[in-house]
Structure 1
């Protein structure tokens, strides 16, 4: 039976995106600045054309997050369905919940301690730096062609495939959930949460002080810890470990029981 999308999860992913927007300035900011420089400017402020282009960029970025989240959720669902047929469904879900939860909690603790590299799940830290450098190169080479056309959405879409210590823990979470719809909507919520910071960066602000970014990262770490505890405790419960459960309003943990 499909698990309904939990409003609590959606809210947490949106908060992660909102707080992680400060981090996105370091990852996405250079590309935003690059394509923004290609647009016609107006001394009176951003034009409707600029606003449209930034909106398309962020729409493409968010849509690609949702697509990858949905596909990973589908992959997880396929694995869980096979495990259920083999009579080990709860065991597999339990192990997956513990692993996913522990990884996400580790990322959160690293951010709270100000050590972002601790528990990083970005592909660059897993040996995929060359591939993702080429993806970034493709994005940069297309800036001149796409910056002033609707194809700027494709520049945003590429960001789902760039190394990001904010995004990839969320992808792992979507995989572990085994819920395609929830995976897509949760990642979409994260993408929407990052939009205000990047949108303002591209049109008005241009920068965020380092001290404020550091503070946001620590609060983001707390959100990651709380998010990771949901599958971690549920996974331990499926494995028969007596642990206290977080009573979160409207949170429906994944289950193989109809």
Structure 2
């Protein structure tokens, strides 16, 4: 069953969710991207070098997303041993998507409680990232991006819920890769023009449109489950 419930390929839907989450990505990670960009010594701040470093950060970040997706989907294979369990996982994924939308629009911040769980892991990873700075070479950027990919983020956790529902490690990794690629445009541009783009994407109207679109996706998922019939 299509885990999105949208009649769309899951990877396409994940990419769209990443695009729609651009407002949250800039709000949470835009400052990091800007700080890393301006931390490069002025003498080494050529467009080619900065582009390479920004791509390196994001490559590492997406690889971490893929690793998390594969791990969570592996757990899903253990949980989803029955039709009822699979439906429960899909309902959970739809709920997480709605929470993500509320978070993006600043309507309700309950997803912050989920992020708090990830902060325990982040306390152990953050020192590793600090040892990689200042970043002046692409391998350093990839390494720091790989650490950054585990930064507590409700948006990422919501998408990992989809990986859990898919219950296939390869598909879970690919789903998170597609999502990561969807977030890429906002974060790449942010590295060069954080203030200009950030103001536009963080605008209330932009966040509202993104949130309503994601809620529509989630409700379509729920309706699809109802139409196919809940197992007894």
What is the TM-score with the length of structure 2 in the denominator?
0.81
Give the Cα–Cα distance (whole angstroms) in 2 for the partners of residues 215 and 190 of structure 1.
Answer: 22
Cα deviation 1:201-233 (Å, max 9, x = unaligned): 21x312234463133322332343244345534
Aligned to 1:55: 55
Name the one with the larger helix percent.
2
- After alignment, is 67-76 or 169-178 more displaced? 67-76
Structure 1 match to 2:29:
28
Pick from 184, 206, 209 the counterpart of residue 195 of structure 1.
Answer: 184
Aligned-partner SS, 1:74: helix
Alignment root-mean-square deviation, CA: 3.1
Tell me, in whole angstroms, the C-alpha distance in 2 between the residues paired with 1:189 and 1:234.
23
Provide the residue aligned with 2:14 in structure 1. Answer: 13
Residue in structure 2 matching 1:93, options 86, 93, 99: 86
Distance 1:49 1:101 in 2: 41
Gaps of 5+ in 1: 84-88, 242-258
Q: Which of 224, 232, 253 pairs up with 2:214?
A: 224
Larger radius of gyration: 1
Compute the displacement of 1:100 (Å).
2.3
The alpha-carbon distance between structure 1 residues 209 and 30, as it changes in their structure 2 partners (threshold 3 A), is: closer
Q: How does 1:99-138 map to 2 (within 5 A)?
A: 99-109=92-102, 111-112=104-105, 114-120=106-112, 122-124=114-116, 126=117, 128-138=118-128
The CA deviation string for residues 228-248 of structure 1, in whole angstroms up to 9 with x for no partner, is 34553455445248xxxxxxx
- 1:175 CA drift (Å): 0.7
Q: Distance in 1 between matches of 2:20 and 2:90?
A: 24
| Deviates most, 93-102 or 167-176 | 93-102
User: 1:3–1:116: structure 2 CA closer, same or farther, 3 Å change rule?
Assistant: closer
Equivalents in 1 of 2:164, 2:113: separation in Å? Answer: 13
CA contact (8 A) 2:23 2:104 kept: no
Match of 1:249 in 2: none
Summarize the Cα distance change of 1:35–1:219 in structure 2 as closer, same or farther, 3 Å threshold.
Answer: same
Alpha-carbon separation, structure 2, partners of 1:41 and 1:122? 39
TM-score by length of 1: 0.74
5+ residue gaps, structure 2, are none
Q: Distance in 1 between matches of 2:73 and 2:17?
A: 19
Deviations 1:128-169 (A, max 9, x none): 43442453444244322x443412111111233111121110
Q: For residue 207 of structure 2, give the secondary structure of its aligned residue in structure 1.
A: helix
Deviates more, 1:59-68 or 1:3-12: 3-12
Does the 8 Å contact 1:34/1:143 carry over to 2?
A: no
Q: How far 1:65 moved relative to its partner?
A: 0.9
